[in-house]
Structure 1
Amino acid sequence: MSVLENFQDWKTFLAQRVTQAASAGMEKQTMENIAYQIGEYLSNHVDPKNEQERLLKELWDAGTEEQRHAMAGAMINYVQNRKQ
């Protein structure tokens, strides 16, 4: 099963990657740029697998580039600050 099949699995996967990147010394701006690129890829090439992903795609598609960058940063903050 893909991490994209279940939103909880996606959040856990993303949180692990963000933790690894931070531990390796990656700056937050770099993580946000990568998250933006991933968001662009997912929006353009991956069919949402659940209602949460569908909402994120619709918000992403409706946003400007600046708003998409903000969403990418917010997703990073979300997984960093959520309770396990």
Structure 2
Amino acid sequence: MSEHNHVVNKNGELDVNKVDDAIDRIDEGEKERILANFDSFQSYLSKRIQLAQNIGLGEEQLAQAAEKVAGYLAENEEPRNAEEKLLQELWKVGSKEERHKLAHMLVKLAERRQSH
């Protein structure tokens, strides 16, 4: 896969502008499996965060990516369960700063899952 298909460039820097493209490349069946229930969403997020940490991304970069993903989901996907609906509603009413803090919390939630 060429470099333009990745959200992390060869210098190890996150390009949040490419997050939407990466999400769009996920097969619809896979996307449905990921979003079908909150546990599968958390599991997917946890694996991606572990991968990102392994290549050296820090908490702020992870939160920036999570913020971009959350914004995409809030705008483009219907919630599949009560937890996703709550996250979408919190996202919609939150200020930019509150959304960024929520993204940090989502990263922490996924990291906590890694330790269990």
TM-score (norm 2): 0.69
Please state whether the residue corresponding to 2:78 is helix, strand or coil. coil
Backbone CA RMSD of aligned residues: 1.1
Q: CA deviation at 1:2?
A: 1.8
Structure label with greater radius of gyration: 2
The answer to whether structure 1 residue 56 and structure 2 residue 87 are counterparts is yes
Give runs of ≥4 in structure 1 deviating > 4 Å.
none
- d(CA) in 2 for partners of 1:32, 1:18: 10
Give the aligned partner of residue 46 of structure 1: 77
What are the Cα deviations for residues 13-58 of structure 1, in whole angstroms up to 9, with x where unaligned? 1000001100110121111101000011000010000011000000
Give the counterpart of 2:102 among 41, 66, 71: 71
Q: Which has the higher contact order (CA 8 A, sep 6+)?
A: 1
2:62 to 4, 8, 31: 31
Q: Which amino acid aligns with 1:13?
A: Y
> Could you list the runs of 5+ residues in structure 1 that have no partner in the other structure?
none
**Number of residue pairs aligned between Structure 1 and Structure 2:** 84
2-side partners of 1:55 and 1:27: how far apart? 27
Q: What's 1:8 paired with?
A: 39
In the alignment, the residues of structure 2 paired with residue 8 and residue 19 of structure 1 have an alpha-carbon distance, to the nearest angstrom, of 16
Alpha-carbon distance in structure 2 between the residues aligned to 1:3 and 1:74 = 19
- For residues 60 and 70 of structure 1, what CA distance do their matches in structure 2 show? 10
TM-score normalised by length of structure 1 = 0.94
